[in-house]
Structure 1
Amino acid sequence: MIGEMEDLKYEGNPDPGRWRHRKKEGKGRSVVALVLVLLLLGGLGAGGWYGYDRFAGRFLAADYGGPGSGEVIVEVKKGDSAAAIAQTLLDKGVVKSTKAFVNAANENSDSTGIQVGSYKLRKEMKASDALLMLLDLKNKYVEGAVTIREGWTKMQAFEAFSKETGIKYAEFEKAAADISKLGVSPIWLKRTDGKKVDKSNIEGFLYPATYEMPENPTATAILKLAIGKFNAEMDKLNFAETAQTKLKISPYEALVAASITQVEALLPEDMGPVSRVLYNRVYTDDFPCGCLQLDSTVNYWLRLQGKEGKSSEKLTVDELHGEENPYRYNVPGMSIGPISNPGEIALKGAIEAEKSPYFFFVTIDAKGKMAYGKTFDEHNANIQVACKNGIPIC
């Protein structure tokens, strides 16, 4: 199976960083720091650990290893340095030490790009991830605004819009009944593979971004706002023309691939290669069924039914292969529709996918790295690597 690492990722994606690189500290400073640590440990007695923890937070590069959890609002003020932002992050429980964040800022040549404002971050984040989230304007917090995350489904977007505005969820479903009336161009409403585009399916067209709600908002006005953003971003990427000229497929089919890639790939560098695997499976004669064989499409169908997604081993035969499921495991060709709303990196990956001989991919470590295989034997070997690394797919 492709993409055997579940549960599915329907959220999150970042961008780049701030502050110039600092000169390497000399040995003298290291010695002074060591002496200070020894004095601190030796001189504070029973209360020393609290003082040491404060000291370590400021001078040592203690760091969290994961993406964090929950949500916290962090404010970046005018004139804030890397150190000032680092202290704010430490005080809010986002990073484990100020030093880790300052190091991350020094190592990122784009790190001068953080803008003044408030941002939605998570608690106990790896410092470099926190930096990337501060640079991603989609994480900027604006009161009364709604942020659609990369990989969210239309259901999640409708829920977020409804929660913020008080407009009933059903109103968004009703407003999305014909996407051509919301600003979706006819070029997106046809495919080259013989399948039909469902004009009542807005999935894939709700571009991930932060949307400030209009005065006296309606469901129709909000969805038009999101599709207007989609159209503008697709023009910037030259997405439709590239899909047609380079890939020889319809823009809609490339959008479907991007939506699947957004869910399957965790790292930016895997977006293109994963999209290429999808294309190799359905647009060449070298993969026996000419189908995707993805748990992610099956899980999307479950979510459309109001159910929870499942890990690979828990999906039943009926869920995988039921004829009533148009997103089923072995249905020939590219999926009938998008399964998420992809962001810029996934969209670029879908149209810039370099050719490769691969038909399989699997996540092989906790960082989200993918391994690729030409044959099922190679794929099984990659799965064994994943199992040795603790990825729960065996």
Structure 2
Amino acid sequence: MTDLFDEAFTGSAAPEPQRATSRRNSQRRREAKRRAQRRRNMITFFVMIVSIALLVGGAWVLIRPMISGDGAPSATVSDYPGPGTGEVQIVVNTGETGADIATTLVDNDVVATTGAFVQAYNTNPDAVSIQAGTYTLQSQMNAADAVAALLDPASRSDLTITIPEGWRATKIYARIANRLGITEEEVATAAAEVAASYLPAEAGGEIEGWLFASTYTIQTDSTATSVLQQMVDLTVANLDERNIAAEDREELLIKASIVEAEVANQDDWNMVARVVENRLAGCTGDGTLGMDSTYAYGLNKIAPEITRTEWETEHPFNTRIVPGLPPTPIGAPGAGALDAVLNPPEGDWCYFVTVNPTTGETRFTADYDEHLENQRLYREWLAEQTAAPEETTEGEG
């Protein structure tokens, strides 16, 4: 029995070394997995740290210009508390953005930073209405107050003068006098000086037609002389831009001024320019322009007030009698009229009549009988408006 017991015991205990080895192998595998997991965790953490750093750096590059007025690092938008002191003149140029204006204000210490002004500019819905010009502001203003000041006309230290197309020189003098707070006589005196010493030689000493129709920005200390010179300069600039030879400039200005004065509808300017050329070329047989506008200028009255006797009187500006162009322009031409004269359409029109001045409807024709019919239509319109003055003739081209 003992031998049998010993054999049975020995047989059951023999696998013990194999189980121990298996446990050790399993433990080593678990430790290897843990080490691998720790490595993966460390790599993931490192990648996350690098990603966060890159995001923060990129955000700082984008944000720093908005929160720093001088390009130096700044954690917040810096702004003066205001209200500001002293006086600073600032020029806002045409086409400048809020950021452009901000740079000018920072350079002159009106606001603390570009970021503060841009933020205030974007917050104020009216800021886009800030006009080009010269403004008197204060040093070290609150950015929101600076925006409000630029929107306040009282802050403007310059003026604008608008000259519509077709205005004669005397009317322009009146507007300049009103803007500068001086008399029309003072402006007329300045005009005479400009005509004598500043006008191009081809103007022949006549300033009429050389005061370009446009809007001008002037300073509060501007003089009538400087304003008139500015207008002459713009005329010369427009002629230079179109490569007009000196000997052709006065003629171009005369024609352009007539085109503007004859019809209100700018779409008809080109056709009127063609009629002028056809008339000068002799389509009527006598080389006369027959334009009411020229004689109205010469007599300083509106065409319907010109009497039959006056129409039959020879006068340098009576283009119904005197062939060719009048001696000077009859108003201030603009760019549109210059281009109309330089590029008239092809056509044989010799006459035109604005049959309805209210709507501006103008009819063009090469046939004289049709022209007479168009005159009749004009007279009908005139009769509907008011009785025509005694001994006058209807307007025509």
Equivalent-residue separation in structure 2 for 1:360 and 1:117 (angstroms) = 47
* 1:67 counterpart residue number: none
* 2:265 counterpart residue number: 267
Displacement, 1:169? 1.6
Displacement, 1:203? 1.1
Q: 3-state SS of the aligned residue for 2:216? A: strand
Q: 3-state SS of the aligned residue for 1:213? A: strand
The 8 Å contact of residues 194 and 228 in structure 2, kept in 1 or not, is answered as no
Equivalent-residue separation in structure 1 for 2:324 and 2:130 (angstroms) = 45
* 1:349 counterpart residue number: 340
Displacement, 1:151? 1.1
Alignment of 1:318-357 (within 5 A): 318-323=309-314, 325-328=315-318, 329-357=320-348
Displacement, 1:387? 5.4
Displacement, 1:175? 2.4
* 2:299 counterpart residue number: 302
Displacement, 1:318? 3.6
Q: 3-state SS of the aligned residue for 1:160? A: helix
Q: 3-state SS of the aligned residue for 1:296? A: helix
* 1:218 counterpart residue number: 223
Equivalent-residue separation in structure 2 for 1:382 and 1:280 (angstroms) = 19
* 2:255 counterpart residue number: 257
1:116 to 116, 129, 132: 129
Equivalent-residue separation in structure 2 for 1:117 and 1:280 (angstroms) = 48
1:147 is aligned to 2:162: yes
The 8 Å contact of residues 199 and 232 in structure 2, kept in 1 or not, is answered as yes
Q: Gaps spanning 5+ residues in structure 2: where?
A: 1-96, 99-127, 133-155, 386-393
Greater share of helix residues, 1 or 2?
2
Q: 1:27-59 CA deviation, whole Å, 9 max, x = no partner?
A: xxxxxxxxxxxxxxxxxxxxxxxxxxxxxxxxx
Q: 1:127-185 CA deviation, whole Å, 9 max, x = no partner?
A: xxxxxxxxxxxxxx996321111111101100000111123222222222265656433
Equivalent-residue separation in structure 2 for 1:179 and 1:319 (angstroms) = 33
1:367 is aligned to 2:389: no
1:358 is aligned to 2:355: no
* 2:239 counterpart residue number: 234
Equivalent-residue separation in structure 2 for 1:322 and 1:279 (angstroms) = 24
Residue type of the partner of 1:327?
Answer: F
Q: 1:59-105 CA deviation, whole Å, 9 max, x = no partner?
A: xxxxxxxxxxxxxxxxxxx99xxxxxxxxxxxxxxxxxxxxxxxxxx
Displacement, 1:338? 0.8
Q: Decide whether aligned partners of structure 1 residues 118 and 387 sit closer, same or farther in structure 2, where only a CA change above 3 A counts.
A: farther
TM-score (norm 1): 0.53
The 8 Å contact of residues 292 and 334 in structure 1, kept in 2 or not, is answered as yes
Q: Decide whether aligned partners of structure 1 residues 142 and 293 sit closer, same or farther in structure 2, where only a CA change above 3 A counts.
A: farther
Residue type of the partner of 1:252?
Answer: E
Residue type of the partner of 2:224?
Answer: A
Q: 3-state SS of the aligned residue for 1:212? A: strand
Alignment of 1:1-394 (within 5 A): 116=129, 144-177=159-192, 183-186=198-201, 188-189=202-203, 198-199=204-205, 201-238=206-243, 240-241=244-245, 250-282=248-280, 284-303=281-300, 308-311=301-304, 314-323=305-314, 325-328=315-318, 329-365=320-356, 366-386=358-378
* 1:132 counterpart residue number: none
The 8 Å contact of residues 297 and 330 in structure 2, kept in 1 or not, is answered as yes
* 2:114 counterpart residue number: none
The 8 Å contact of residues 214 and 222 in structure 1, kept in 2 or not, is answered as no
Q: Decide whether aligned partners of structure 1 residues 316 and 117 sit closer, same or farther in structure 2, where only a CA change above 3 A counts.
A: farther
The 8 Å contact of residues 159 and 220 in structure 2, kept in 1 or not, is answered as no
Equivalent-residue separation in structure 2 for 1:315 and 1:142 (angstroms) = 45
The 8 Å contact of residues 142 and 212 in structure 1, kept in 2 or not, is answered as no
The 8 Å contact of residues 262 and 342 in structure 1, kept in 2 or not, is answered as yes
Equivalent-residue separation in structure 2 for 1:205 and 1:341 (angstroms) = 7
Percent identical across equivalent pairs? 28
Displacement, 1:339? 0.8
Q: 3-state SS of the aligned residue for 1:289? A: coil
Equivalent-residue separation in structure 2 for 1:159 and 1:215 (angstroms) = 17
Q: Relative contact order (alpha carbons < 8 A, sep ≥ 6): 1 or 2 greater? A: 1
Residue type of the partner of 1:184?
Answer: L
Moved more, 177-186 or 356-365: 177-186
Displacement, 1:117? 5.0
Displacement, 1:287? 2.0
Residue type of the partner of 1:348?
Answer: D
